A and B are shown apart, each in its own frame.
Chain A
Amino acid sequence: MHWSKSALAALAAAGLAALPAAAQQAPPAPASRFVVVLDAAHGGSDPGGRLGSGQPEKAATLALSVRLRSLLAARGIAVVTTRESDATIDSNRRAAIANYAAAQVCLSLHASDSGSGAHLFVSSLAPVQATRFAAWKTAQAAWVTRSLALAGVLNSALLHGGMNVTLDRTTLPTVDSMTCPAVAVEVAPERGPDGQITAEPDDPAYQARVAGAVAAAVLEFRTEARQP
């Protein structure tokens, strides 16, 4: 587990020239702590899928997590990551890190060679009222409504960024055990009108665009969450 440095965040938010406009307009230090958990899927002995570039999925998700962490920290958002290196972490541990952080946004990052654009997944658990004690495997059920709202904001931001987006439900053990608004984001290749791949999921420029759109969505979600 790695916490971003608030000092670094403040410095970055203060005006690094390379930051997009949204970062420069970010409000000063928020009154209440807004925490985002980034879960780079797979890692270590679990390589995940194999991308068209030949890279394993675990490398692409880690690169995206690092890039996204920097963007969010630059906007003054506290970020917790489940891994910062090529380490094996099981799904229970990942969910435990997210739940311990009491995050307002949890993003499980994946990459795939099939489909196109970005695939957003919310847990397929049926929504329930929050209770004091929740079953571990279905803890996300009390958060599904908020997760759907988060997916909607992400969908808008990614579409605005010119990406093809699909929105669906799935059963993913890591997400199903998270007690926070949680969405699994799967980055697929970018394809042209003829269906040919124009950018692989581990392409740095493509990842930068995805990360920028996701960061903008998180900021939007934070703003919406703070509105009375």
Chain B
Amino acid sequence: MITQDQGFFGRLTWDSFPVAALIRHPGTNEIVANAAAAVVVVGVVVVVALLSWFRLWGPLWRDWLTSADHKKIGIMYVVFAVVMLARGVLEGVVMRAQQAAGPGDGFLAAEHFAELFSTHGTIMIFFVAVPFVFGIANYVVPLMIGARDVAFPVMNQISLGLTVSAGMMLMVSLVVGEFSTGGWTAYPPYTGAAFNPGVGPDYWIWAIVVSGIGTTLTGINFAVTIYKLRAPGMTFMRLPMYCWTIICSSILIVFAMPPLGVAALLLAADRYLDFHFFTNDLGGNMMNYANLFWLFGHPEVYLLVLPAYGIYSEVFATFSAKRLYGYNSLVIATMSIAILSFTVWLHHFFTMGQSALINAVFGIATMLIAIPTGVKVYDWMATLWRGRIRFSVPMLYGLAFLMLFVIGGLSGVILANPTVDYQVHNTLFLVAHFHNVLLPGVLFGLLAAYNYWFPKAFGFRLNEGWGRVSVALWTLGFMLTFLPLYFVGLLGMPRRSFSWEDPDFHPYMIVALIGALVVLGALLSVLVQLWVSIRDRDRTRVPAGDPWDGRTLEWSIPAPPPAYNFAIIPRVSDRDEFAAAKEGGAAYPSPAAYEDIDIPRNTGIGFILCVLSGVWMFALVWWIWWLAILASVLIILAIIFWSFDSSTELTIPAEEVRKAHEAWLEQVRQAPAIDRDDETTSRNRGLARPDLEPAT
């Protein structure tokens, strides 16, 4: 509810900057807050300086920011996700340090700790998991289905722009004002105007709304891409498993993002316009919020984990050198999980006082999800069985996932029992459970994908040794950090506790802190791996494009692929099309004729909308009405002007395609066909020798 008279800058004053608090009453808490703000400011300054020093603004603008190429957009998504991941992990470490600081109050103020768990959750879900998942999907899906781009390349760029600008709001909240203290779920009435009149919940609301729009557009884009742009011959039952999971995930987005948008916008109506959707008085009802949020929230976790399942399916098949076991089962299981995920939202608030009947029904519905999930795990085991397993980095992530994920599944089924949930709801047991499914489930999958498809994207392999180090550190770090939390949760420690008194908790808190530091080391090892790999890139190039003896279409083209992906759109006749082609000696055909190819032309609309939506959000958060109106008008005008642009495509002449493609085919002919024994050596130039006869 807007209460005061506002000046030119709305409610923005000098006191809105954390520096003001540091000057007035310096303490550990203020130092930590200002250090975080300083990291953001220094980070921006350093990036700007580096770009200017190396004169990279032009290339950045031409090759990246205005590109509508799904491959570049995918890479930008992943870079953004990793930057946000770094912040999320650091926040996790600070929180674990606060709790490990022993019985008593620790070194952070309660509200600062609350900001940390709120940003940590919001960032990890909306600005790490979602962009990472769809960054990988952006890169891989069109290549896997034999398409030249996604269905709506410009809309894809806009999705990225909106996601990034929303994520930037969380960065801005470190420097100006403060973030919400209401957790990633932002339950009213706590986040309502009466109890939290500050800017915190408003940052949350607008970041969620804008990134939600971006994600919805992504979901539409990928659903249409997979429905409509598959190469000829690629029937649904020949669709690679990963694409199946992306299509399910996209459908989940289309149906599940609206409830989140509604929840956040109605909360905004309550806060800005004095509506009474979720207020205490005049008929508001916060239970509607809980229902809306979890109508989104539960499908959300599946739209994150399903693509990871898809990645594991590809990885297990490739590195076992074997067809994926139980394809039909896996498809049915994926679809069942997607559908069931809409039927279980109530299990997030078993303790809100519904009848036993309702709780029992939703509890059983929740346990049903364990069936297709269990089937998937068994299918993957059968894929490994009688394979010829290479312990490459993606496979190691996969094996760690299988072992650890079933523990998360176990605790998930326990939580599905309302009887038990009454005890462990809102405790660290729950925190341990969802980290148990999100780290080994989603994050390990994404890291496996990163290691697996990196050579496709950049033309050289990632360092294997450092990759193994990071697998070990992630696994160890996860176990040390989160398994103790199951314990402390059973002992009754509530989540989001900035302090505690029971001395029994102490050893677990210490172990968890050590684990968090190991996780930090794991993150660093990923960065070191990247650095080492770039340094050594000349020894690990795989221009022929197939470093892992891959089975699907993306491995049949150069690494990195040309802008148009496929010189000739392939005709598909097998589920493992490329593996079948290699087996039949039909890989790398020389096309008889080439055609002109249309690719999306560069456009600045995504970047413009990114900036304008950022301004719009900031103006709304700080009640700078003139700026909010101006930004809204400019956003509408930008879209209208863009719609007048009729030259959206760039034609690459057939001759140019022919030259590039035949040069590459020549490169393939020159490359040595290598055995899987040499996969991780510098002999691997990306041409695989089929590995069918017994190794000698």
Q: Do A and B come from one complex?
A: no
Residues of B within 8 A of A (CB): none
